[in-house]
Amino acid sequence: MMAAAQVGAQVTTDAINKDAATTGDVLTWGLGTQGQRYSPLTDVNAKSISKLVPVWSMSFGGEKQRGQESQPLVHNGKMFVTASYSRIFALDAKTGKKLWKYEHRLPEGIMPCCDVINRGAALFDNLVIFGTLDAQLVALDQNTGKVVWREKIDDYAAGYSYSAAPLIADGLLLTGVSGGEFGVVGRVEARDPKTGKMVWSRPVVEGHMGYKDGKENGISGTTNATWPGDTWKSGGAATWLGGTYDAKTGLAYFGTGNPGPWNSHLRKGDNLYSTSTVAIDVKSGQIKWSYQNTPNDAWDFDGVNEFITFDMDGKRVGAKADRNGYFYVNDAATGKLLNAFPFVTKTTWANGIDLKTGRPNFVPENRPGDPTGPGGDGTKGKAVFAAPGFLGGKNQMPMAYSPKTNLFYVPSNEWGMEIWNEPVTYKKGAAYLGAGFTIKPLYDDYIGALRAVNPKTGKIEWEVKNEAPLWGGVLVAGDLVFWGTPEGYLKAADAKTGKVVWQFQTGSGIVAPPITWKEGNDQYVSVVSGWGGAVPLWGGEVAKKVNFLEQGGSVWTFKLNK
């Protein structure tokens, strides 16, 4: 076990690549660029956890609160944490004392689809870098909070925004875009993290040109091969959850969102590379492989979910719990599908994934109908009931993997929706859906379930149900799994058995992933609390399960009271 990267030291590529093993700091979103969210620390364990108590809590303040989805970073005794409305704070990690804060000035017309959230920052050298709701990147000096550079990702008036934590891969700053509901063009971009200067740009909608060092770097795929007419020009596939990186394969893995518009009859074809995992060679900026989870998606099954690489049977593979309700294992180097199984109780749109062809076995009658086809009246197509609903078997909340138990811990939800299609045409800056929907719970007693998933057998080893939908990510710390609930609890369970051994009420709903690190003799656990995100905005009939929850906005930090 290694301690922190040298105190006072600047954040290097080497330190970032070792982040998963160094317990004295948290340099990356995901506790390591592979995104396993696993820490080898075991001071806090099933025996000692009854002594885990808060040491400080710090409020983000302000008149505006809303969803807080940020994963904090810790380096050199400082915590860096982003907050709603494009704010970032630096705190003393031991005491919570505020060192500086930066509030980005947002224009009136921003168009984030799903709350004014931010999921975290990236550290590189002396900088802390985060993205804003008006689609900009801001790099600040870690010590002073002074802006060092600022770059525009794209035009917020066309629907672009930014919500993910940036990723540092092989010394480059990798970012995606949000805006899939407005017909933007999804892409992954690499910049020099010291200056913000663009190195390469790789569109993930087939037909668009990529660039490297200011020169054309080849079209992604083949224009019009999987998109009819001009539909590829506003194809969506937003890379809104960011990505992971594995130094062993040299590939960055980005999930891609739904194709635009939602009405699938307006874009017949597979619509590459929407709702896929796309593996990009970080050096060349080229797509090395892609695997599409939901070809010709009709249910808003964004495939943005994190692709977490790990070793299975001596081979480097990656796993993704997709919004469409299936859990996938692909070869990390080639993308070949190795395993796929549902991790939720009901998937109406497909009845399995064919491991030979890699394609879903669609249930055609469960696709929402064409408004101009049978059962449609020109303005509305045949409505269907679909599960999961569009908020997904899993959404933005990242899962975790334990190399000790070889299990994935998946925050999943059980819900469905009534969905129908409508005609729509693309207009810059306007919602580009062509669909209507109402979300409904599947069961009376729960929507959320934290599930321990065996990636080899597809077996759910244990689950802990939750009445409200789970919307916070997961951490494995030694032999314990930590996660938060909208009801406000930070919970810990035995990673092997799922027995809940501890919980603490944070005062507002948790929709963010916890972290842990060790400084001196103390292991710390931190989590951000503040109810919000997509559920209160789009939850339909789920509202009655969550409309009593209060907003908030604070960081909580715990350690053992010895």
Ligand X SMILES: O=C(O)c1cc(C(=O)O)c2c(n1)C(=O)C(=O)c1cc(C(=O)O)[nH]c1-2
CB-CB contact of 301 with 348 (8 Å):
no
Q: Does 180 bind ligand X (CB under 6 A)?
A: yes
Q: Does 238 bind ligand X (CB under 6 A)?
A: yes
Give the Å distances, CA to CA, from 316 to 247, 311, 332, 468, 547: 11, 5, 6, 35, 43
Q: Does 396 bind ligand X (CB under 6 A)?
A: yes
CB of 384 to ligand X, least distance (A): 19
Q: Does 448 bind ligand X (CB under 6 A)?
A: no
Give the Å distances, CA to CA, from 272 to 6, 53, 185, 203, 275: 44, 49, 12, 11, 8
Nearer to ligand X, 107 or 364 (CB): 107
Question: Annotation-wise, does 217 bind a ligand?
Answer: no
Nearer to ligand X, 304 or 449 (CB): 304
What is the Cα–Cα distance from 300 to 217, expressed in whole angstroms? Answer: 30
Question: Annotation-wise, does 119 bind a ligand?
Answer: yes
Q: Does 486 bind ligand X (CB under 6 A)?
A: no
- Residue 261's Cβ-side half-sphere holds a number of Cα atoms within 13 Å equal to 20
CB-CB contact of 162 with 96 (8 Å):
no
Q: Which of 120, 257, 371, 434 binds ligand X (CB under 6 A)?
A: 257
CB of 84 to ligand X, least distance (A): 11
Q: Does 254 bind ligand X (CB under 6 A)?
A: no
Q: Which of 24, 388, 488, 533 binds ligand X (CB under 6 A)?
A: 533
Q: Does 83 bind ligand X (CB under 6 A)?
A: no
Catalytic residue numbers, as ranges: 300
Q: Does 69 bind ligand X (CB under 6 A)?
A: yes
Q: Does 322 bind ligand X (CB under 6 A)?
A: no
Q: Does 528 bind ligand X (CB under 6 A)?
A: no
Question: Annotation-wise, does 216 bind a ligand?
Answer: no
Question: Annotation-wise, does 300 bind a ligand?
Answer: yes
CB-CB contact of 447 with 350 (8 Å):
no
Q: Does 163 bind ligand X (CB under 6 A)?
A: yes
CB-CB contact of 542 with 439 (8 Å):
yes
Determine the residue with CB nearest ligand X. Answer: 180
Q: Does 306 bind ligand X (CB under 6 A)?
A: no
Nearer to ligand X, 84 or 402 (CB): 84
Report DSSP letters for 411-438, one per residue.
EEE-EEEEEEE------TTS----EEEE
One-letter amino acid for residue 129 of the chain: I
Helices then strands, counting H and E runs in the chain, come out as: 3, 40
Burial class (CB in 10 A: 0-12, 13-18, 19+), 444: exposed
Report DSSP letters for 482-524, one per residue.
EEE-TTSEEEEEETTT--EEEEEE-SS---S--EEEEETTEEE
What is the Cα–Cα distance from 55 to 36, expressed in whole angstroms? Answer: 26
Segment lying near ligand X (by CB under 6 A), choices 177-185, 362-370, 372-380, 472-480: 177-185
Q: Which of 43, 125, 154, 181 binds ligand X (CB under 6 A)?
A: 181
Question: Annotation-wise, does 181 bind a ligand?
Answer: yes
CB-CB contact of 50 with 39 (8 Å):
no
CB of 257 to ligand X, least distance (A): 4
Segment lying near ligand X (by CB under 6 A), choices 82-90, 176-184, 514-522, 547-555: 176-184
Q: Which of 58, 114, 169, 435 binds ligand X (CB under 6 A)?
A: 114
Q: Which of 22, 36, 290, 395 binds ligand X (CB under 6 A)?
A: 395
Query: How many chain residues are in contact with ligand X, going by CB under 6 A?
Result: 19
Report DSSP letters for 31-53, one per residue.
SSTT---EE---SS-TTTGGGEE
Nearer to ligand X, 85 or 310 (CB): 85
Burial class (CB in 10 A: 0-12, 13-18, 19+), 2: exposed
Report DSSP letters for 325-381, one per residue.
SEEEEEETTT--EEEEEESSS--SSEEEE-TTT--EEE-GGGSPPPTTSTT--SS--
Length of the chain: 562
CB-CB contact of 407 with 381 (8 Å):
no
Q: Does 179 bind ligand X (CB under 6 A)?
A: yes
Nearer to ligand X, 206 or 519 (CB): 206
Q: Per DSSP, what are the bridge partners of residue 401? A: 408
Q: Does 30 bind ligand X (CB under 6 A)?
A: no
Nearer to ligand X, 134 or 302 (CB): 302
Segment lying near ligand X (by CB under 6 A), choices 109-117, 167-175, 207-215, 456-464: 109-117
Q: Does 439 bind ligand X (CB under 6 A)?
A: no
Q: Does 134 bind ligand X (CB under 6 A)?
A: no
Q: Which of 240, 262, 291, 558 binds ligand X (CB under 6 A)?
A: 240
CB of 236 to ligand X, least distance (A): 7
CB of 131 to ligand X, least distance (A): 10
Q: Does 285 bind ligand X (CB under 6 A)?
A: no
Q: Which of 122, 350, 391, 400 binds ligand X (CB under 6 A)?
A: 391
Nearer to ligand X, 439 or 501 (CB): 439
- Residue 489's Cβ-side half-sphere holds a number of Cα atoms within 13 Å equal to 15
Q: Does 251 bind ligand X (CB under 6 A)?
A: no
CB of 69 to ligand X, least distance (A): 6
- Radius of gyration (C-alpha) of the chain in whole angstroms: 22
Known binding residues for Ca(2+) are 181, 258, 300
Which residues sit at the interface with ligand X, rule CB under 6 A?
A: 69, 113-115, 117, 163, 178-181, 238, 240, 257, 302, 391, 395-396, 533-534
| Residue positions forming the annotated binding site for pyrroloquinoline quinone | 69, 119
Q: Which residues does the annotation place in the binding site?
A: 69, 119, 181, 258, 300
